[in-house]
Amino acid sequence: MTIEKTATPTKAKSLLVITGLFWLVIIVGGMALFMRYENRAGFAAEAPDGWPLASRIQKSTDRSTLVVLAHPHCPCTRATINELARLMARVGDRLAVYVIFIKPAGVEQGWEQSDIWTSAAKIPGVKVVTDDQGRESQLFGGRTSGQSVLYDKSGKLLFSGGITIGRGAEGDSTGAAAIVSLVMGESEAVQATSVFGCPLSSDESYCDLKKELLDGNPTR
Amino acid sequence: METPHADIKVDRLAEDLFTNHQQSIFRHTDRMFAVLMALQFLGGIAAAFWFSPKTWFGAYSSVHNNVWAAIFLGGLVSIFPIFLALKFTGEKSTRYVIAVSQIMMSSLLIHITGGRIETHFHLFGSLAFLSFYRDWRVLVPATAIVAADHMVRGVFWPESVYGVPGGQNWRWLEHTFWVLFENTFLVIAIKRSTSEMWEIARRTSETKQLNEGLERRIDIRTAELETTNQNLENEIVGRRRLQLEAEVISKVIQGLTTTDNLDDLFAMVHEQLGRRLYAENCFVALYDSETKVVHCPFFVDKFDAAPVPEKLGKGLTNYLLRNGAAVLLTAGDIEELSAKGEISIVGTIPAVWLGVPLRTPRGVIGALVVQHYEDAAIFGQHDERFMRSIGDQVALALERGRAAEERLRNENQFKDMFDNAPVAYHELDTEGRYTRINRTEELLLGYTNDELKGRHPWEFIVENVSRGAIADKLAGKVPLRAVERTFIRKDGSHISVLNEDRLIYGENGEVTGIRSTLQDITALKSLEDQLTHQALHDPLTKLCNRVLFSSRVEQAISRVRRTHLPIAVLFLDLDHFKSINDSLGHAAGDELLVSVTERLRACLRVSDTPARFGGDEFAILLEDLEHANKAALIAERIRKVLCAPFKIAGTEAFISTSIGIAITTSGSETPEELLRNADLAMYRSKSNGKNRYTIFENEMHDAGLSIPRGRPIRNCRTSPRTFKTTTAEPGP
């Protein structure tokens, strides 16, 4: 059977070209917006410079303590937990790590014990803590799930930020590298990186988020 | 070695095949991507729902942006290429759009899934899928999208690409490198595949060329075979038709030779005719050239009744008889002839009318006709030829019948002539046996026809006629000529016939016998014998005449040469006969001669031959003499016997005789010499006194004796007798 090349009339071709270009513009624009969203950092934490004494979490006295604030259902936080696991594999013996899962008021029992909770709990050396009503999150100034704060053994803030490169994106990140270098004593400067995740509290209004998205100006 | 023309043709065909193959690949791949894109779209939505179904604000959640992105952005990315893939399948723009879209989808999936390594594999897999087009150009926009994506994100969101904020502007090439790395192998594979496609196309083209050539040859051969097959079928049909025709004709011939009755003959012909062609309407017309009347002794027809005998007119049959040729006419032809006035339409007009003449050496004697009232195409040239063959056989049979009748008539006439011919006829077969004799011969021989049948003529012929003689005649070895035969009649009497033979020849020229005529020549023979006898005998005395006597002497001389037994010729002259003849009359003289003859016979033996040379001269041939002197003794006895008185006319007459004897022992003399010698000796007897005998001696020739005749008759008793030593003196 001979298959002939189809000949498209010129008018239809022109229409197709125009449509194609329009389509391309649309999807490029769409992808750009999506990229922008993907790479938009969450609200940055206002971590105290020193270990909050009111925190129920006992800071380690012989090593640095890393606290990761997580929303138990934030999908982006899975990447944070996976990065944490890699971090622990590298410098886990030098860190005391706590993953604090926020439990807002009014949720049912066990709400915070999601698969992310389970994954975090499986990481050797990581303790998972339920943060009723976000008390601990507030103490550590966390606003976005995935926020990680590192304090040295004296309680001095060494790092505050995220350890992923984007929303739900795993891979080598500045945050993880900073933590490693701080733990290893290669750096002493306080470092901060963007955090990619869901807001820990509903107080972080959706309107602000929406405003941010529309204006392109983050409120953090 | 292919000709350039063939090469160009192969190249063009290869190009067409390659293009078609390529287009087929494009189309198939387009449709594959259409399906893939749809699945990817659904897969993206499913992945978004799986990995990030909701975004949270504390205790509150809403649909994650990834889900909306998967639905709307994913749908947007998929819809246009799917449309193009289904509506503009195979177009270059379609696959380029698909390439762009596929990479976009990979990017979307990567981001939806949070950069999972599997979705990065989707990117590389997409490139591999794009290579299915076997068009390396398709990889260009795809690669460009990847590069642009990394470059743009590297600029605007470097940490998402490099993992660190900020980065060298060229580092996007690192990520692009792997794409290019894969592209290298894909392009190589595409090139190879394309090359193979070309090779396949070329080989297919060559094969196709060969196959086309083969197919053409096959088609030609098939056409030839079909033609041959058709010809064979036609030939078979023709042969079957011919076979049927031959069978029918054979049956007709067989029937015609065994059927004498005309009605049965025509019925048989009609039946056989019907085996070969439509003969529901069929008739035979016979024409009498003397009365000019045409009648139909055989007639079958669906519509018309048999016509009455009529004079030759203007109907179709009559048209055929007038022209003497086969006629195949349709209804249109018939009407046309009628319009021209050549024929008059009689009866129902048939759709087709086929008639053939019944032709004999005497001319056209009739017609054989078949016709059909509906189908004008039912009869054709083949049928006309067949009908002519049948017509010829019917004519032949009719002629044979007529000839047989005439032959019978002739035979009867001949038989009548044969039997009643004034000449005796008989016929013999090749074995020489009687097969038939006519009435005349029955009367001639006294036998009936039945008594002679089977017997041979030589059983009734006196002459020695052998079986071989007849065989020679039959074989033509001997000429046939009239011969005289002597038949023995039933009553034992003999008849002489003149037997004349003629050979009888059969139809094929072979000799079948002999026809003989017997002409009764008994009377004629008798007359002939009489005449012969008269020609050779003295009418008065019934003795041999000079001619016969000379012949006898000649035969006797011949015998002397063989037997060396002497013979003698006695020449007698009656003394004094003239005086008695003169005195008593010629009748008395004749009576005396007869009496002398009787006395001579009494003196002779059976082997002796007396003769009368005329007048009073007699001669005697003495054969089988034991010795020469026996002739003298016989001569003496004769002399004495003739000296006794004769009673003639109531009167006693006395005569004597002078005898001359010529003897031969060697047979060296001729009959004339012997006779002359005897005559000379007789004259010596006369001159020496008569009433004596003298034996010839050679000196008599020398003496040249010639004693005239006519001397007066003397009484033999008074005549003195003198004897010489060579002349025998009469005894007392």
Q: Report yes or no: A144 at the B interface, CB cutoff 8 Å.
A: no
Looking at the predicted structure, is the pLDDT value of residue B570 above 90? Answer: yes
Q: Report yes or no: A169 at the B interface, CB cutoff 8 Å.
A: yes
Q: What pLDDT score was predicted for residue A203?
A: 66
Give CA separation, A205 vs A43, B44, B62, in Å.
11, 29, 13
B538 CB-near residues (< 8 Å, 6+ apart): B544, B545, B611, B612, B614
Q: Where are the domains of chain A?
A: 1-38, 64-206
Q: What pLDDT score was predicted for residue B712?
A: 33
Looking at the complex, report in whole angstroms how far the Cα of residue B1 sits from the nearest Cα belonging to chain A.
Answer: 28
Q: Please give the residue of chain B at the shortest CA–CA distance from A208.
A: B57
Confidence of residue B704 (pLDDT cuts 50, 70, 90): low
More confident call, B725 vs B137: B137
CB contact under 8 A, A75 and B107: no
Confidence of residue A212 (pLDDT cuts 50, 70, 90): low
Looking at the predicted structure, is the pLDDT value of residue B206 above 90? Answer: no
- Structure pTM? 0.47
Chain A environment of B76 (Cβ under 8 Å): 23, 26-27, 30
CB contact under 8 A, B91 and A24: no
Chain A environment of B56 (Cβ under 8 Å): 71, 73-74, 145, 198-199
B45 CB-near residues (< 8 Å, 6+ apart): B67, B70, B71, B74
Chain B environment of A30 (Cβ under 8 Å): 69, 72-73, 76
Q: What pLDDT score was predicted for residue A88?
A: 92
Q: Please give the residue of chain B at the shortest CA–CA distance from A9.
A: B88
Looking at the predicted structure, is the pLDDT value of residue B569 above 70? Answer: yes
Residues B594-622 have pLDDT tens digits of 999 999 999 999 999 999 998 899 999 99
Q: What backbone phi and psi angles, to 5 degrees, belong to B708?
A: -65, 160
What number of other Cβ atoms are within 10 A of residue A163's Cβ?
30
Is residue B642 classed as helix, strand or coil in its secondary structure? helix
Residues A93-137 have pLDDT tens digits of 889 999 999 998 888 888 889 999 999 999 999 999 998 888 888
Looking at the predicted structure, is the pLDDT value of residue A211 above 60? Answer: no
What number of other Cβ atoms are within 10 A of residue B250's Cβ?
12
Q: Identify residue B391 by its one-letter amino acid code.
A: G
CB contact under 8 A, B88 and A8: yes
**What is the residue whose two structure tokens read 């012929």?**
B461
pLDDT-above-90 percentage for chain A: 26
Residue of A27, A171, A204 lying closest to B163 (CB–CB):
A171
Q: What pLDDT score was predicted for residue B723?
A: 28
Q: Please give the residue of chain B at the shortest CA–CA distance from A169.
A: B114
CB contact under 8 A, B54 and A73: yes
Confidence of residue B162 (pLDDT cuts 50, 70, 90): low
Q: Please give the residue of chain A at the shortest CA–CA distance from B70.
A: A34
**What is the residue whose two structure tokens read 């981001």?**
B111
Residue of A170, A174, A199 lying closest to B58 (CB–CB):
A199
Which superfamily, per CATH, for A64-206?
Glutaredoxin (3.40.30.10)
* Residue A193 to residue A39: CA distance in whole angstroms: 13
Chain B environment of A73 (Cβ under 8 Å): 54, 56, 61
CB contact under 8 A, A38 and B159: no
Q: Which of B263, B595, B289, B253 lies closest to B392 in space, CA to CA?
A: B253
Is residue A123 classed as helix, strand or coil in its secondary structure? coil
CB B365 within 8 A of CB B399: yes
Average pLDDT score over residue span B647-672: 89
Looking at the complex, report in whole angstroms how far the Cα of residue A64 sits from the nearest Cα belonging to chain B.
Answer: 23
CB contact under 8 A, A75 and B55: yes
Residues B495-538 have pLDDT tens digits of 888 889 999 888 888 989 998 998 888 888 788 777 887 788 88
Q: Identify residue A65 by its one-letter amino acid code.
A: T
Chain B environment of A24 (Cβ under 8 Å): 100
* Residue B381 to residue A31: CA distance in whole angstroms: 91
pLDDT-above-90 percentage for chain B: 41
Residue of A17, A27, A201 lying closest to B58 (CB–CB):
A201
CB contact under 8 A, A24 and B60: no
**Chain A residues 39-78 within an 8 A CB cutoff of chain B:** 39, 71, 73-76, 78
Chain A environment of B62 (Cβ under 8 Å): 206
Chain B environment of A19 (Cβ under 8 Å): 80
CB contact under 8 A, B65 and A37: yes
- Size (chain A), residues: 220
Looking at the predicted structure, is the pLDDT value of residue B633 above 60? Answer: yes
Q: What pLDDT score was predicted for residue B2?
A: 46
Chain B environment of A162 (Cβ under 8 Å): none
Indicate whether this complex's ipTM tops 0.90.
no
Looking at the predicted structure, is the pLDDT value of residue B332 above 80? Answer: yes
CB contact under 8 A, A31 and B107: yes
Q: What pLDDT score was predicted for residue A173?
A: 84
Query: How many CB pairs lie under 8 A apart between chains A and B?
Result: 149
Residue B644 is classified by DSSP as: S
CB A197 within 8 A of CB A80: yes
Alpha-carbon torsion angle B645, B646, B651, B652, nearest 10:
-10
Looking at the predicted structure, is the pLDDT value of residue B188 above 90? Answer: yes
Q: Report yes or no: A171 at the B interface, CB cutoff 8 Å.
A: yes
Q: Report yes or no: A94 at the B interface, CB cutoff 8 Å.
A: no
More confident call, B455 vs B205: B455
The H or E element that residue A180 is part of is helix A174-183
Residue of A27, A200, A203 lying closest to B104 (CB–CB):
A27
Q: What pLDDT score was predicted for residue A85?
A: 93
Q: What backbone phi and psi angles, to 5 degrees, belong to B371?
A: -150, 155
Angle between helices B92-112 and B139-156 (to 10 degrees): 40
Looking at the predicted structure, is the pLDDT value of residue A1 above 50? Answer: no
CB contact under 8 A, A37 and B59: no
* Residue B354 to residue B372: CA distance in whole angstroms: 9
Q: What pLDDT score was predicted for residue B662?
A: 93
Give CA separation, B207 vs B7, B202, B293, B330, B452, in Å.
13, 8, 80, 58, 98
Looking at the predicted structure, is the pLDDT value of residue B731 above 70? Answer: no
Chain B environment of A172 (Cβ under 8 Å): 163-164
Mean pLDDT (chain B, rounded) = 86
Chain B environment of A168 (Cβ under 8 Å): 51-52, 113-115
CB contact under 8 A, A102 and B58: yes
* Residue B662 to residue B669: CA distance in whole angstroms: 10
CB B120 within 8 A of CB B175: no
Q: What pLDDT score was predicted for residue B45?
A: 94
Q: Report yes or no: A86 at the B interface, CB cutoff 8 Å.
A: no
Residues B432-469 have pLDDT tens digits of 899 988 888 999 899 998 999 999 988 998 888 777 87
Q: Please give the residue of chain B at the shortest CA–CA distance from A79.
A: B114
Instruction: Please name every residue paired with B574 in a beta bridge, in sequence order, or none if there are none.
Output: B657
Tokens of residue B583, six digits: 């005195």
* Residue B341 to residue B345: CA distance in whole angstroms: 10
Chain B environment of A8 (Cβ under 8 Å): 88, 91
Q: What pLDDT score was predicted for residue B231?
A: 82
Looking at the predicted structure, is the pLDDT value of residue B412 above 70? Answer: yes
Q: Please give the residue of chain B at the shortest CA–CA distance from A21.
A: B97
